[in-house]
Amino acid sequence: MPDKISQTKLHGLFVVWKQYQRRPEVLASLLDCELKFIPHLFRSKYLRPLDYLFKLVVNIKDILTKKPKFIVAQCPPTFSALPALITKTPYVIDAHNPLFQVNMWQKLPFSQTILRNSLAIIVHNVEMFQLVRSMYPDVRLFTISDPIKMITSDRFQERLAKQILVIASFDPWDEPVELLIDTMKQLREYNFVITADVNKLDSETACSLQKLDNVNLTGFLATEEYHQVLCSSLAALVLTTSDATQPSGACEALSSNTQLVISQTSLTQKLFGEWAVLVDNSSESISQAIRSLSVQELDLAAYREQWNMSVKEEILRLSEFIG
Protein backbone atom coordinates (compact mmCIF):
# COMPACT_ATOMS: atom_id res chain seq x y z
CA MET A 1 0.00 0.00 0.00
CA PRO A 2 1.50 3.39 -0.94
CA ASP A 3 2.72 5.75 1.77
CA LYS A 4 0.39 8.48 0.57
CA ILE A 5 -2.19 9.21 -2.05
CA SER A 6 -0.15 10.77 -4.84
CA GLN A 7 -3.05 12.01 -6.94
CA THR A 8 -4.00 14.81 -4.54
CA LYS A 9 -1.65 16.74 -2.24
CA LEU A 10 -3.65 17.44 0.90
CA HIS A 11 -1.05 18.60 3.41
CA GLY A 12 -3.12 18.18 6.55
CA LEU A 13 -2.55 17.85 10.27
CA PHE A 14 -3.78 14.71 12.09
CA VAL A 15 -4.52 15.53 15.74
CA VAL A 16 -4.68 12.86 18.45
CA TRP A 17 -5.11 13.83 22.10
CA LYS A 18 -3.52 10.60 23.36
CA GLN A 19 -0.03 9.23 23.87
CA TYR A 20 -0.09 6.75 21.00
CA GLN A 21 -2.39 4.71 18.77
CA ARG A 22 -1.45 2.64 15.75
CA ARG A 23 -4.41 3.62 13.54
CA PRO A 24 -3.47 7.31 13.15
CA GLU A 25 0.21 6.38 12.83
CA VAL A 26 -0.59 4.42 9.66
CA LEU A 27 -3.53 6.50 8.41
CA ALA A 28 -1.87 9.92 8.69
CA SER A 29 0.70 9.30 5.96
CA LEU A 30 -1.95 7.88 3.64
CA LEU A 31 -3.83 11.18 3.91
CA ASP A 32 -0.63 13.24 3.51
CA CYS A 33 -0.97 14.50 7.08
CA GLU A 34 1.58 15.38 9.70
CA LEU A 35 0.73 13.44 12.86
CA LYS A 36 0.54 15.15 16.25
CA PHE A 37 0.13 13.04 19.41
CA ILE A 38 -0.49 15.01 22.62
CA PRO A 39 -0.48 12.77 25.73
CA HIS A 40 -2.34 13.62 28.91
CA LEU A 41 -0.57 15.92 31.34
CA PHE A 42 -2.51 14.58 34.33
CA ARG A 43 -3.76 11.12 35.28
CA SER A 44 -6.68 12.43 37.30
CA LYS A 45 -9.94 12.86 35.40
CA TYR A 46 -10.77 15.76 37.70
CA LEU A 47 -7.90 17.68 36.08
CA ARG A 48 -8.95 16.75 32.55
CA PRO A 49 -10.36 20.25 31.80
CA LEU A 50 -6.86 21.68 32.38
CA ASP A 51 -5.46 18.94 30.18
CA TYR A 52 -7.86 19.83 27.37
CA LEU A 53 -7.09 23.51 27.72
CA PHE A 54 -3.36 22.84 27.32
CA LYS A 55 -3.98 20.70 24.22
CA LEU A 56 -6.30 23.33 22.78
CA VAL A 57 -3.58 25.98 23.03
CA VAL A 58 -0.94 23.65 21.58
CA ASN A 59 -3.11 22.76 18.58
CA ILE A 60 -4.14 26.34 17.86
CA LYS A 61 -0.46 27.28 17.83
CA ASP A 62 0.25 24.34 15.47
CA ILE A 63 -2.50 25.45 13.11
CA LEU A 64 -1.40 29.09 13.05
CA THR A 65 2.25 28.07 12.52
CA LYS A 66 1.89 25.22 10.03
CA LYS A 67 -1.21 26.51 8.22
CA PRO A 68 -2.47 23.05 7.22
CA LYS A 69 -5.01 22.79 4.42
CA PHE A 70 -7.24 20.71 6.70
CA ILE A 71 -7.33 18.92 10.06
CA VAL A 72 -8.17 15.32 10.89
CA ALA A 73 -9.23 15.16 14.55
CA GLN A 74 -9.51 11.84 16.34
CA CYS A 75 -12.62 11.83 18.51
CA PRO A 76 -13.36 11.28 21.32
CA PRO A 77 -12.63 13.58 22.92
CA THR A 78 -14.82 15.75 20.71
CA PHE A 79 -12.85 18.79 21.87
CA SER A 80 -9.87 17.71 19.75
CA ALA A 81 -11.70 19.27 16.77
CA LEU A 82 -12.30 22.55 18.62
CA PRO A 83 -8.97 24.16 17.53
CA ALA A 84 -9.97 23.65 13.89
CA LEU A 85 -13.43 25.10 14.53
CA ILE A 86 -11.99 28.13 16.34
CA THR A 87 -9.43 28.86 13.62
CA LYS A 88 -11.97 28.18 10.84
CA THR A 89 -9.77 25.43 9.40
CA PRO A 90 -11.69 22.71 7.47
CA TYR A 91 -11.72 19.51 9.49
CA VAL A 92 -12.63 15.84 9.28
CA ILE A 93 -13.48 13.76 12.35
CA ASP A 94 -11.97 10.29 12.70
CA ALA A 95 -14.72 8.90 14.91
CA HIS A 96 -13.96 6.05 17.26
CA ASN A 97 -17.04 4.13 18.38
CA PRO A 98 -17.49 5.67 21.86
CA LEU A 99 -18.20 9.03 20.21
CA PHE A 100 -21.60 7.67 19.18
CA GLN A 101 -22.12 4.80 21.63
CA VAL A 102 -21.40 6.66 24.88
CA ASN A 103 -24.03 9.36 25.36
CA MET A 104 -21.71 11.63 27.32
CA TRP A 105 -19.77 12.66 24.22
CA GLN A 106 -22.92 13.81 22.44
CA LYS A 107 -24.03 15.96 25.39
CA LEU A 108 -20.82 17.85 26.20
CA PRO A 109 -20.67 21.58 25.34
CA PHE A 110 -19.97 22.32 21.65
CA SER A 111 -20.23 18.63 20.68
CA GLN A 112 -23.19 19.01 18.34
CA THR A 113 -21.70 22.14 16.78
CA ILE A 114 -18.37 20.37 16.24
CA LEU A 115 -19.97 17.31 14.65
CA ARG A 116 -22.35 19.19 12.37
CA ASN A 117 -19.72 21.65 11.15
CA SER A 118 -17.21 19.00 10.11
CA LEU A 119 -16.46 18.47 6.43
CA ALA A 120 -16.98 14.76 6.97
CA ILE A 121 -16.93 12.03 9.59
CA ILE A 122 -14.86 8.89 9.18
CA VAL A 123 -16.26 5.75 10.80
CA HIS A 124 -14.41 2.46 11.03
CA ASN A 125 -16.89 -0.11 9.76
CA VAL A 126 -20.20 -0.61 7.98
CA GLU A 127 -22.20 -1.16 11.18
CA MET A 128 -21.06 2.19 12.57
CA PHE A 129 -21.83 3.80 9.21
CA GLN A 130 -25.44 2.68 9.52
CA LEU A 131 -25.69 3.90 13.11
CA VAL A 132 -24.19 7.33 12.43
CA ARG A 133 -26.22 7.78 9.24
CA SER A 134 -29.40 7.38 11.32
CA MET A 135 -28.16 9.95 13.85
CA TYR A 136 -26.69 12.53 11.43
CA PRO A 137 -28.33 12.07 8.01
CA ASP A 138 -26.95 15.37 6.69
CA VAL A 139 -23.27 14.72 7.52
CA ARG A 140 -20.94 13.31 4.84
CA LEU A 141 -19.70 9.88 5.97
CA PHE A 142 -16.74 7.74 4.92
CA THR A 143 -15.91 4.21 6.09
CA ILE A 144 -12.17 3.67 6.54
CA SER A 145 -11.00 0.59 8.43
CA ASP A 146 -7.61 0.58 10.15
CA PRO A 147 -5.00 0.43 7.36
CA ILE A 148 -2.94 -2.74 7.59
CA LYS A 149 0.82 -2.34 7.54
CA MET A 150 3.04 -5.40 8.02
CA ILE A 151 4.44 -5.71 11.54
CA THR A 152 7.73 -7.52 12.02
CA SER A 153 10.39 -7.55 14.72
CA ASP A 154 14.14 -7.81 14.24
CA ARG A 155 14.34 -9.32 17.72
CA PHE A 156 11.76 -12.00 16.92
CA GLN A 157 13.18 -15.54 17.01
CA GLU A 158 10.28 -17.91 17.58
CA ARG A 159 6.83 -17.82 19.10
CA LEU A 160 6.47 -18.83 22.73
CA ALA A 161 3.97 -21.65 23.15
CA LYS A 162 2.61 -20.34 26.46
CA GLN A 163 2.65 -16.56 25.91
CA ILE A 164 -0.60 -14.74 25.12
CA LEU A 165 -0.66 -11.02 24.38
CA VAL A 166 -3.84 -9.40 25.69
CA ILE A 167 -4.52 -6.38 23.48
CA ALA A 168 -6.68 -4.05 25.54
CA SER A 169 -6.90 -0.53 26.89
CA PHE A 170 -9.09 -1.26 29.94
CA ASP A 171 -11.83 0.87 28.47
CA PRO A 172 -14.85 0.28 30.73
CA TRP A 173 -17.48 0.72 28.04
CA ASP A 174 -16.63 -2.33 25.91
CA GLU A 175 -13.89 -4.43 27.55
CA PRO A 176 -14.93 -7.21 29.97
CA VAL A 177 -12.02 -7.00 32.41
CA GLU A 178 -13.64 -9.27 35.03
CA LEU A 179 -14.10 -11.94 32.36
CA LEU A 180 -10.45 -11.56 31.39
CA ILE A 181 -9.35 -12.05 35.00
CA ASP A 182 -11.53 -15.16 35.40
CA THR A 183 -10.08 -16.60 32.19
CA MET A 184 -6.48 -16.02 33.23
CA LYS A 185 -7.20 -17.72 36.55
CA GLN A 186 -8.31 -20.80 34.62
CA LEU A 187 -5.25 -20.73 32.35
CA ARG A 188 -2.51 -20.85 34.98
CA GLU A 189 -0.17 -22.65 32.58
CA TYR A 190 -0.11 -19.62 30.24
CA ASN A 191 1.68 -16.30 30.67
CA PHE A 192 -0.41 -13.25 29.74
CA VAL A 193 1.25 -10.00 28.74
CA ILE A 194 -0.88 -6.85 29.16
CA THR A 195 0.31 -3.38 28.13
CA ALA A 196 -2.82 -1.48 29.24
CA ASP A 197 -2.53 0.95 32.14
CA VAL A 198 -3.70 -0.81 35.31
CA ASN A 199 -4.27 2.59 36.94
CA LYS A 200 -7.37 2.99 34.75
CA LEU A 201 -9.08 0.22 36.74
CA ASP A 202 -10.84 0.61 40.06
CA SER A 203 -8.68 -0.41 43.01
CA GLU A 204 -10.45 -3.73 43.65
CA THR A 205 -10.18 -4.89 40.04
CA ALA A 206 -6.59 -3.71 39.77
CA CYS A 207 -5.69 -5.62 42.93
CA SER A 208 -7.29 -8.82 41.59
CA LEU A 209 -5.28 -8.50 38.39
CA GLN A 210 -1.99 -7.71 40.11
CA LYS A 211 -2.32 -10.80 42.33
CA LEU A 212 -2.20 -13.16 39.35
CA ASP A 213 1.26 -14.70 39.04
CA ASN A 214 0.79 -15.56 35.36
CA VAL A 215 0.21 -11.95 34.28
CA ASN A 216 2.93 -9.54 33.21
CA LEU A 217 1.63 -5.95 33.45
CA THR A 218 4.21 -4.13 31.36
CA GLY A 219 2.44 -0.79 30.97
CA PHE A 220 2.99 1.19 27.78
CA LEU A 221 5.79 -0.23 25.61
CA ALA A 222 7.83 1.50 22.94
CA THR A 223 6.79 0.43 19.43
CA GLU A 224 9.76 -1.87 18.76
CA GLU A 225 9.39 -3.61 22.10
CA TYR A 226 5.63 -4.00 21.66
CA HIS A 227 6.14 -5.51 18.20
CA GLN A 228 8.62 -7.97 19.66
CA VAL A 229 6.02 -9.13 22.22
CA LEU A 230 3.32 -9.37 19.54
CA CYS A 231 5.51 -11.31 17.11
CA SER A 232 6.73 -13.74 19.79
CA SER A 233 3.31 -14.57 21.28
CA LEU A 234 1.37 -17.72 20.56
CA ALA A 235 -1.74 -15.61 20.01
CA ALA A 236 -3.38 -12.26 20.59
CA LEU A 237 -6.49 -12.17 22.80
CA VAL A 238 -9.00 -9.41 22.03
CA LEU A 239 -12.30 -9.17 23.92
CA THR A 240 -15.19 -6.77 23.39
CA THR A 241 -18.79 -6.45 24.50
CA SER A 242 -19.78 -4.07 21.69
CA ASP A 243 -21.50 -5.35 18.55
CA ALA A 244 -20.13 -2.62 16.27
CA THR A 245 -16.51 -2.62 17.39
CA GLN A 246 -13.69 -3.34 14.95
CA PRO A 247 -10.89 -3.94 17.47
CA SER A 248 -7.52 -2.44 16.61
CA GLY A 249 -5.91 -5.43 18.31
CA ALA A 250 -7.41 -7.74 15.69
CA CYS A 251 -5.83 -5.61 12.98
CA GLU A 252 -2.47 -5.89 14.75
CA ALA A 253 -2.80 -9.68 14.68
CA LEU A 254 -3.63 -9.51 10.97
CA SER A 255 -0.62 -7.26 10.43
CA SER A 256 1.78 -9.66 12.12
CA ASN A 257 0.52 -13.12 11.07
CA THR A 258 -0.44 -13.76 14.69
CA GLN A 259 -3.17 -16.17 15.70
CA LEU A 260 -6.19 -14.31 17.04
CA VAL A 261 -8.76 -15.26 19.69
CA ILE A 262 -11.56 -12.70 19.58
CA SER A 263 -15.09 -12.16 20.88
CA GLN A 264 -17.69 -13.25 18.34
CA THR A 265 -20.01 -10.52 17.03
CA SER A 266 -21.66 -10.07 13.67
CA LEU A 267 -18.85 -7.65 12.72
CA THR A 268 -15.87 -9.72 13.92
CA GLN A 269 -17.37 -12.74 12.16
CA LYS A 270 -17.56 -10.75 8.94
CA LEU A 271 -14.09 -9.19 9.22
CA PHE A 272 -11.96 -11.95 10.78
CA GLY A 273 -14.08 -15.10 10.80
CA GLU A 274 -12.19 -16.89 8.01
CA TRP A 275 -8.92 -17.13 9.94
CA ALA A 276 -9.42 -16.11 13.59
CA VAL A 277 -10.82 -18.18 16.46
CA LEU A 278 -14.12 -16.57 17.54
CA VAL A 279 -15.34 -17.17 21.07
CA ASP A 280 -18.32 -16.52 23.28
CA ASN A 281 -17.66 -14.07 26.10
CA SER A 282 -17.26 -16.81 28.66
CA SER A 283 -14.13 -18.02 30.41
CA GLU A 284 -14.89 -21.61 29.33
CA SER A 285 -15.08 -20.71 25.63
CA ILE A 286 -11.95 -18.56 25.73
CA SER A 287 -9.95 -21.13 27.71
CA GLN A 288 -10.93 -23.91 25.33
CA ALA A 289 -9.91 -21.79 22.34
CA ILE A 290 -6.50 -20.92 23.72
CA ARG A 291 -5.73 -24.49 24.77
CA SER A 292 -6.60 -25.66 21.24
CA LEU A 293 -3.83 -23.53 19.71
CA SER A 294 -0.40 -24.78 18.69
CA VAL A 295 2.62 -22.76 17.62
CA GLN A 296 2.31 -21.83 13.96
CA GLU A 297 3.01 -18.93 11.66
CA LEU A 298 -0.05 -17.89 9.68
CA ASP A 299 0.19 -16.55 6.15
CA LEU A 300 -2.37 -13.73 6.09
CA ALA A 301 -0.94 -11.84 3.09
CA ALA A 302 -4.03 -12.38 0.93
CA TYR A 303 -6.32 -11.07 3.68
CA ARG A 304 -4.12 -8.01 4.14
CA GLU A 305 -4.12 -7.27 0.41
CA GLN A 306 -7.90 -7.53 0.14
CA TRP A 307 -8.35 -5.39 3.27
CA ASN A 308 -6.00 -2.67 2.05
CA MET A 309 -7.61 -2.48 -1.38
CA SER A 310 -10.88 -1.52 0.30
CA VAL A 311 -9.10 1.02 2.52
CA LYS A 312 -7.30 2.54 -0.48
CA GLU A 313 -10.54 3.00 -2.42
CA GLU A 314 -12.20 4.80 0.49
CA ILE A 315 -9.16 7.02 1.11
CA LEU A 316 -9.20 8.02 -2.55
CA ARG A 317 -12.86 9.01 -2.21
CA LEU A 318 -12.09 11.08 0.87
CA SER A 319 -9.03 12.67 -0.78
CA GLU A 320 -11.04 13.71 -3.83
CA PHE A 321 -13.78 15.11 -1.59
CA ILE A 322 -11.38 17.24 0.45
CA GLY A 323 -9.18 18.21 -2.47
The residues of the chain that CATH labels 3.40.50.2000 are 12-144, 160-300
As its CATH architecture, domain 12-144 has 3-Layer(aba) Sandwich (3.40)
* Residue 251, Ramachandran bin (φ over 0: left; ψ between -120 and 50: alpha; else beta): alpha
Question: Per-residue pLDDT for 3 more than 80?
Answer: no
Per-residue pLDDT at 8: 43
Per CATH, the homologous superfamily of domain 160-300 is Glycogen Phosphorylase B; (3.40.50.2000)
pTM: 0.82
Strand partners, 91: 71
Residue range 256-306, pLDDT digits in tens: 999 999 999 999 999 999 999 999 999 999 999 999 999 988 999 999 999
Does 9 score more than 80 pLDDT?
no
Q: What pLDDT, on a 0 to 100 scale, did the predictor assign at position 156? A: 63
SS3 164: strand
- Number of residues in the chain: 323
Burial (0-12, 13-18, 19+ Cβ within 10 Å), 274: exposed
Contact 285, 271 (CB under 8 A): no
The confidence score (pLDDT) of residue 5 equals: 40
Q: How far apart are CA 313 and CA 149, in angstroms?
A: 16
pLDDT tops 70 at residue 211: yes
10 Å CB burial of residue 313 (0-12, 13-18, 19+) is exposed
48 band by pLDDT with thresholds 50, 70 and 90: confident
ω into 39 cis (within 30 of 0): no
User: In the predicted model, is pLDDT for residue 10 greater than 60?
Assistant: no
Q: Is 124's pLDDT higher than 70? A: yes
Percent of the chain with pLDDT over 90: 78
Distance CA 318, CA 217 (A): 39
- C-beta neighbour count of 159 within 10 angstroms: 18
